[in-house]
Amino acid sequence: MTQRILSLHFDNTDSHLLATYEREGGYRIFRKALQMQPEAVVEEVKKSGLRGRGGAGFPAGVKWGFIPKDTKRPIYLCINADESEPGTFKDRYIMERDPHMLLEGILITCWAIKSSDCYIYIRGEYESTRKVLQAAVDEAYEAGYLGADVTGSGWRCDVTIHKGAGAYICGEETGLLESLEGKKGYPRIKPPFPAVVGLFQCPTIINNVETIASVPWILEHGGDAYAAIGVGKSTGTKLFCMSGHIQRPGVYEAPLGIPFREMLHDYAGGMRRADRPLKAVIPGGSSVPVLTAAEAMEAKLDYESLAELGTMLGSAGVIVIEEGTCMVWALATLTRFYADESCGQCTPCREGTGWVNDIIWRIEKGGATADEFAMVQNLTDNMTGTTICPLADACVMPVKSFLKKFGHEFEEHLQHGGCPQTQPVG
Amino acid sequence: MSDSTSTRAGLSDAALAELEKLGKRYPTREALLLPALWMVQQEHGWISQESMLYLAELLDVSPVRVYGVVSFYHMFHDRPPGRYNIQVCHTLSCSLRGAEAILSRLQERLGIGHHEVTADGRFMVTRVECLGACEHAPVCQINEDFEFDLTPEKLEAKLEQLP
């Protein structure tokens, strides 16, 4: 069965407009939530097992429970719409095609965590998306779903869209907070965790767009109904971002636990060229370890199954790579990303990403020595677990897994003095 | 702030009013820095040192703090960009589908390298990291607008059409 929760309205005409959303029953669930005790809403979300869809997979309801009960300070909700993990483009679909579903999720969440102030931090490159989302926010104010007196209940809820300016690191939750405060997006040392000391030194919950957009369905159908979808602790559906060498790249919703094989063939239309079979898959955005074709074809796409294979579901940005692709070159395009995006705060990351990238590119183009290749191991060891945020680890994971699973290609490059392939990929 | 400075480097009255309205949503003045920088860039095309000093005074933050923020974020221009900033994604999903061929054809045609502007000020080419539109790889953005499913020919045709 194709269960659609998040993408139900994606293909409808004018799905981004309030009138369309209300016609489909929109904001009805929020009115129901307003009649509930906030704690009861949190309980329902805990029961659903909904886990953070940005990449970390932390249970959303549990996170909400970390706000100090006796706090006298304002509580903030921040929506992470920075969507910058390479291979990930699902939140763009939600914000462009069903922005009111996100706003209803925000209202319910604000009510649940006793917050009246939400900021949506959207990446600067999504300007056309931001315009759609801002129009939806304006409509919601106009209709009285947002503002000083939400639906005449006397409760205030304000939503402000905050535009980033091009920095992957601002997708890291504390980098996001710094950026919102008007600073460089340098991640903070944790603890304290944002739920205790977050935005403007106040308790703050940061959730991904997709996470919060799932909340209205959970409230409507119940946490148990949501938990019945998916597999084990990987409950519910997920938006999978399929890209790379496939017939039909796109966003596809499926229950967690769907076999990769099915996602590839039934949703993404299979490989783009019949003469080039599958070579490798990066299943969760560029920061997770790569899978070989054999591993991928047996893989199920959920948090636990992928962890057993030594990789991660991450943001479910599934990058599919065909035979004939040079894996040294593919890795080099990734190390370049991390070298470009390291914020520079921690030395092991600032220096490490740069050195690793330099060496991998020289293995690809020629000029690297065997000693330097050996140095990559030492560099990546020193980058692991030695920095404030996980960006360094996010660079190390592809590097180590590419070397482990496609090491012979690196050896061939070294012997050949560069890439043996003459034709660029594409 | 003298009038000549504010017209050359500062914000228009309309933008200032919008900024002050937005200020009610934030408990600190400093939090307005990114929105204010976007407004300056919108009105002037780039962010000069005069503009940075203007914003430092307006938002009561030190000039070096403003400069640090401008230099930290890829999308803020601290010198005038070309009229059309062609930002070509070269991260994995786009590279797998031919981003390098697009970049090399583009740079050959315009005779400029990464982050350079053509002599007539019309084009700037920037290699950028993942734009979050991998289903349409390879992609670029010309200023704020996406161009999807590119081929070198398609991008050249698009450049011809630009006013």
Asked whether residue A109 is assigned to any structural domain, the reply reads yes
Using the CB atoms, write b or e for B68-83: b if 16+ within 10 Å.
ebbebbbbbbeeebbb
The CATH number linked to A305 is: 3.10.20.600
Judge if A179 and A298 occupy the same domain. no
Find residue B102's DSSP bridge partners: none
Same domain, A351 and A407: yes
Cβ <8 Å between B134 and A163:
no
What would the pLDDT profile of B89-103 be if each residue is shown by its tens digit? Answer: 999 999 999 999 999
pLDDT interval class at B158 (50, 70, 90) = very high
- pLDDT (average), residues B139-153: 97
pLDDT of amino acid B5: 45
pLDDT tens digits for A70-98?
999 999 999 999 999 999 999 999 999 99
We report the CATH number of the domain holding residue B13 as 1.10.10
Whether residues A53 and A172 fall in one domain: yes
In angstroms, what separates the C-alpha of B9 from chain A's closest C-alpha? 20
Q: What is the domain count for chain B?
A: 2
B108 and B133 both lie in a single domain: yes
Mean residue pLDDT of chain B comes to 94
Which of A227, A211, A195 lies closest to A80 in space, CA to CA?
Answer: A211
| Domain coverage including residue A248 | 236-322
Beta-sheet strands, E only, within A220-277: 230-231, 234-235, 237-244, 250-255, 258-259
Q: What is the mean pLDDT of residues A386-415?
A: 97
- Considering the domain architecture, whether residues A101 and A211 belong to the same structural domain is answered as yes
C-beta atoms of B131 and A125 within 8 A: yes
Q: What does pTM read for this prediction?
A: 0.97
Give A156-169 pLDDT, tens digit per residue: 999 999 999 999 99
Residue B7 pLDDT > 80: no
Q: Distance between CA atoms of B129 and A426, rounded to whole angstroms? A: 17
Q: Is pLDDT of B3 > 50?
A: no
The residue among A227, A262, A283 that closes a domain is A227
Q: Which of A322, A339, A370 is the last residue of a domain?
A: A322
Indicate whether B62 belongs to any domain. yes
CB atoms within 10 A of CB A109: 26
**How far is B51 from B80, CA to CA, in rounded Å?**
13
Predicted confidence (pLDDT) at residue A424 exceeds the cutoff of 60: no
Closest listed residue to residue A57, CA positions, set A217, A255, A262, A284: A284
Read off the pLDDT of residues A345-385 as tens digits, 9 standing for 90 and up.
999 999 999 999 999 999 999 999 999 999 999 999 999 99
Residues B67 and B95 in one domain: no
Same domain? For A347 and A397 the reply is yes
Number of alpha carbons in the 13 Å side-chain half-sphere of residue A250: 14
| Residue B2 pLDDT > 60 | no
The verdict on residue B49 lying in a domain is yes
Q: How far apart are CA B95 and CA A388, in angstroms?
A: 30
Domain membership flag for residue B79: no
| CA angle in degrees (0–180, nearest 5) for A386-A388-A389 | 105
A229: pLDDT confidence band, cut at 50, 70 and 90? Answer: very high
Size (chain B), residues? 163
Look at B131 and A334 and tell me if their CB atoms are within 8 Å. no
Residue A7 lies in a domain: no
Check B92 against A333: CB less than 8 A apart.
yes
Same domain, A175 and A304: no
Residue B44 lies in a domain: yes
Q: Which ipTM was obtained for this model?
A: 0.95
Q: Which domain holds residue B139?
A: 84-161
Q: What is the pLDDT of residue A422?
A: 67
Single out the residue in A188, A207, A227 at which a domain terminates: A227
B130 by DSSP, 3-state: which? coil
What is the per-residue pLDDT for A101?
98
Kindly identify which residue of chain A lies nearest to residue B34, measuring between CA atoms. A182
**Looking at beta carbons, which residues of chain A come within 8 Å of B138?**
426
Strand (E) or helix (H) holding A81: strand A76-81
Q: What is the pLDDT of residues A169-202, one digit of tens each?
A: 999 999 999 999 999 999 999 999 999 999 999 9
Contacts of A325 (CB under 8 A, 6+ apart): A245, A279, A280, A425, B96
Over residues A38-43, the mean pLDDT reads 97
For position B118, which CATH number holds?
Answer: 3.40.30.10
Instruction: Identify whether residues A158 and A258 lie together within a single domain.
Output: no
Residue B50 lies in a domain: yes
Domain count, chain A: 3
Q: What is the pLDDT of residue B8?
A: 76
